[in-house]
Structures are given as structure tokens and as C-alpha cells.
Structure 1
Amino acid sequence: MSPRLSTVILPVDRWNEGGRAKWQRAEELGFHAAYTYDHLSWRSFRDGPWFGALPTLTAAATATGRLRLGTLVTSPNFRHPVTLAKELISLDDISGGRITLGIGAGGSGFDATALGGRPWTPRERADRFGEFVPLLDRLLTEGTVSQRGDFYTAEEARNLPGCVQRPRLPFAVAATGPRGLRLAARHGRAWVTTGDPKLYETGTPQQSDEAMRRQLEGLAAACAETGRDVAELDKILLTGFTPDRARPLESLDAFVDFAGRHRDLGFTEIVVHWPIPGSDFAADQAVFEKIATEAAAQFG
């Protein structure tokens, strides 16, 4: 069985100057889902155009009819569960129930300091993530929520009528450590990884595969701890951050080999970046579209 194929479209185009066309083309090509990053800016794109994730997804929802849509990923860096829940319920309604929330603990990049604060330590990010996800879960499933936590408070936050998807829209939880994997096991419909970032520059594909095998074992252990069958969770690989990051989009055969290896590890969805010329995500558009339309058949 072939893994599902999805794409991530970075919000770098004006909507009427190529933005809309990419999302519509993603649907025409038959992708399972199209995601976007939820950042204020990102790495090499910091000094160029970068639009907001949720408005972009709202526009994409009105421009498409079947494609699943989502963030990959949202984080607590500049979000609050109360306001995020209201926006997600609205987005789920506008899309007719096609939204997946990818969510992670965040990092130490531009988002971490844009509001004027200092970057959180890894432990502080994990602490906030551990409070953010359960509160957001409640906000999306209960009509009225009051909760006072160490980092986030809700006072009679009302979210009627709730999500179109019941009991709420699905979470795809990005995590590699034990605390994050437990959140994925408890609250996720899916789990997301980019691999092991320590192997990005100097690792080998074999080392990367082994690291992801250990992550999958950690997810299985977290599910067993919570009494959940790990098979219930989709396993999503966001490509572009492994040692062989460029190879999957070099050719159809290269992608089928890459996807097959990761399918055998246990991944059920592979996400590739929509090509952006002159960037880390440069690729041949024709090859990209051939992968989108022909890769599934190669798995039989």
C-alpha cells in the first residue's frame, strides 16, 4: 500500500499573483492534503513576502472543494489557545470540515522573539506545549471553557457551534521527545516528524532511517502507556530536512524509492514542498507534478 502524498505550500505569493493557482493546482494534481507553515517569517524567507497561515487557508478553503487543508505546524510561540480555537472553528466551518491542525512546541527562530520576549528554553517550550494542547482540545470540543493554568487562561470562553468535524478537527502533533509523544498519543489523530535535526548536515540516510525508527518506537510506547493502539495514528513525514533531503524530488524513481523506504518504516503520509525557485525548496515543477500524479501507481 502506498503512503498518501501531500504538499506544503509556503505563503510567499500574493493571492492574486500565483497564490490561488497553487492551491487549486494542488487539488487538480490529486494531493491528499495541502498544508502551510504557521510562522511570522521563516529562515531564508525572512526578508521576502510571507503571508499569514490562517487567512491563507481560509482563502484556499474557498478556492478548493475536496483537498484537505492544514497547518504544518502551528505552535505556542505567538498563538493563544482561546483565540486560536475561535479561528479554527471558523476555518473548519468555511472549509466544510477539511481542516487538520498540525501543532508543535515551536522553536527558537524569529517567531520566538517577534513579540519582544526572550526565546524560551526547550524545557519552557515543552511546558507550554503540554498546557496548550489539552486546553485547545477542550476549547474545540466544549461549548464553554474556564481554566486557569500556569501559562494560559480561559474565562468562560464560548465556542459554539463547535467544529464541523466531530468531536473536533483532527490534531497532527509534531514531536520527538517523550513528553511530546505522550501528547500525540493522547490528543493526536496523527503524529508528525521531520526526522532527526542533528543528522541534517552530516548524517546519512541510513542513520536518518534508524533515528525515525526509534521515534516510531517511542510513539508506540507512548500509545501503550495511554492505552491506545498506535495503529490508530497516521504517521506523517514532512520531507526536506533529512540528509537526503533533495533526492526525493530529483525524479519519479527517486521519490518512489524514498517513499517506499519510509512506508516500510511505518509512515502513512509523505509531505513534499511545492517547488520555490532559488530557495532550499527548488525543484523541477514538471518532475514534482509527475510524482504527484504517477507515484501512487508505482506501489501497485
Structure 2
Amino acid sequence: MRLSTVILPVHRWSEGQKTWRRAEELGFHTAYTYDHLSWRSFQDEPWFGSLPTLTAAACATERLRLGTLVTSPNFRHPVTLAKELITLDDVSGGRVTLGIGAGGTGFDATALGQEAWSPKERADRFGEFVPLLDELLTNDATTREGTYYSAVEARNIPGCVQTPRVPFYVAAAGPRGMRLAAEHGQGWVTYGDPKGPADVPVAEAPGVVAAQIGKLTAACEAVGRDAGTLEKVLLQGSTAEKPLQSVDAFVDWAGTYREVGITELVIHWPIPDSIFENDLTVFERIATEGLAQLG
């Protein structure tokens, strides 16, 4: 099992770079950031762009993997995103993971002036977005006409440092998203029940993820793939569980999800006076001691 973190892009780089360097020092496998234009309670507070932040983090670190958790079609297009990803992959020396999902109805969904898409349209768009992005990142030139996304002789030379391309970690809960994860993903991402923490008692939360993994396994079998070839990533913070209260609480939580089949846990870097407020000393102990105590 691996342990990673999410560092939200809420600080000017003169201060924020210290966190990314510290994440590498603490031994996290990957440091992700949210790919949003703004987000929920931070909407009226500082918030910087994810890909420039990750590029700066690539220059400030040497070993730490870097990624989005997650990018979505809400304000991205596969052609321009592909160009930015091959650049980031090059700058980082092949340390990039693309977490990608269908998006939601928050601030990003309407910031460009469009009406928020229905769940069906989001799924339809995601179903075009992921295969086209896959093609763009694996070919020198791509032409494809779609209902929502097209490419005309889009060039991506010299391509990714990683082969055959930057890995995709697909966030999915429904059948269409699960199929995309099975067909195109090197990993699958969940944050638990999409209904939210108020609707799922703590005792039932692991069962929700176990059921999701069962659906992922079925989706993989349907396309002739071994589900064991996908990383299974759990993003902490969207359930009523409190694994960052103490090292013991984390060990219990991590052990439970290891039994369920999760292979990578992602915990939020503490941010004072926010929903991600936690004791930084405890957090750093979790980073350095937590997984070792699983045995």
C-alpha cells in the first residue's frame, strides 16, 4: 500500500513550495492537487492553477510523483490538455499522473459562461474526452471528429517521457466511468459514496468502497482485463471517517481499506481554518510512521 497527499494550491509559490518539498522529505509517494478554477469554501480565497503549480513543484522536487486529483472536462479540452501534460511530463522527468473524472456541478461547471451539464451530458462528454486524450498522448498526430471534442492534425511531438503515455487514474462510480477506467486507466479513484458523508455511517463506508471495487472488477472482466493491473486509490476527506485525528486512527483506517483492496491512500495536507484543518505534527507522524505500523 502507498501513501500520498493532496496539496491544495492556496498559497503563493514563495510559501507553497515549502509544502511540496516537505512532502518529498516525508516520503509521500505522490503529491496531487485539485484541478479547479476555485473550490467550495475556498471560492473567495487565493487559489492558483494546478498545472503551473505542478510544473513549479516538478522543479522544486526530485523524486516525488505529481498529479491532478482530478482534472475534468468542465474547463479543459483534450487537445490543449495533452500539450500541457507532455510538457509537464518532460519537465518532471516522467513523474506525472493524471487523475481524471467527469466533473460536477460546482464553480468550474459554469465559470466559462455555459449552463451546468446534466449528469448524462457529463458522462457523454467524459466518454469522448478520455479516449481522445489517450490517443493524443500516444500519437505524434491525431485527427478525430466527435460530438463534443475534436482534433485536426493535433501534434504532440516528442510525446511523453513515460511510455506509452502519462498514466490515467480514472475517478468513477457509475458503470460508464468504470468502463473507461477498465479500458484506459492505470488506476481507479474513489472518495467513497458519492452521496456524501452525511448519508453514510462510518461503519458502512468501507462496504461502499468494497462494492465499488466489485463493479470495477466486473467492468475489467467485460473488456478482458485483470482488475489487479489497476491501482485502486482512495481519496480521504469526503466521508465521516476521521483517520487523521491520531496515528492509531490512521492505522485502523488504512488497515481496513487495505483489506477492502485499496492500494493507495491519499490524505489532505492540513490547511488551518478550513475543512482540512488537522494537527500538522500528527499528520507528519502519520506520513512517516503510519504505513509501517500496518505490519
Alignment partner, residue 269 of structure 2: 274
Alignment partner, residue 283 of structure 1: 278
TM-superposed deviation, 1:296: 1.9
Q: What are the residue-to-residue correspondences of 1:25-174 with 2, within 5 Å?
A: 25-174=22-171
Aligned residue for 1:198, secondary structure, equals: coil
Aligned residue for 2:117, secondary structure, equals: coil
Alignment partner, residue 10 of structure 2: 12
User: What count of residue pairs does the alignment treat as equivalent?
Assistant: 295
Contact 1:69 1:98 in 2 (8 A): yes
Alignment partner, residue 254 of structure 1: 249
TM-superposed deviation, 1:206: 2.3
Separation in 1, partners of 2:96, 2:113: 31
TM-superposed deviation, 1:299: 1.6
Aligned: 1:292 with 2:281: no
Separation in 1, partners of 2:199, 2:125: 31
Contact 1:199 1:208 in 2 (8 A): no
**RMSD (CA atoms):** 0.6
Contact 2:173 2:194 in 1 (8 A): no
Gapped regions of structure 1 (runs ≥ 5): none
Contact 1:6 1:272 in 2 (8 A): yes
Gapped regions of structure 2 (runs ≥ 5): none
One-letter code aligned to 2:7: I
Aligned residue for 2:243, secondary structure, equals: helix
Separation in 2, partners of 1:112, 1:158: 28
Separation in 2, partners of 1:270, 1:218: 20
Aligned residue for 1:73, secondary structure, equals: strand
Alignment partner, residue 240 of structure 1: 237
Percent identity among equivalent residues?
67
One-letter code aligned to 1:34: A
Cα distance per residue 1:214-267 (max 9 Å; x no partner): 1000000000001000000000000000121xx111000000000110110000
TM-score (norm 2): 0.99
Q: 2:205 aligns with which of 203, 208, 216?
A: 208
Contact 1:26 1:34 in 2 (8 A): yes
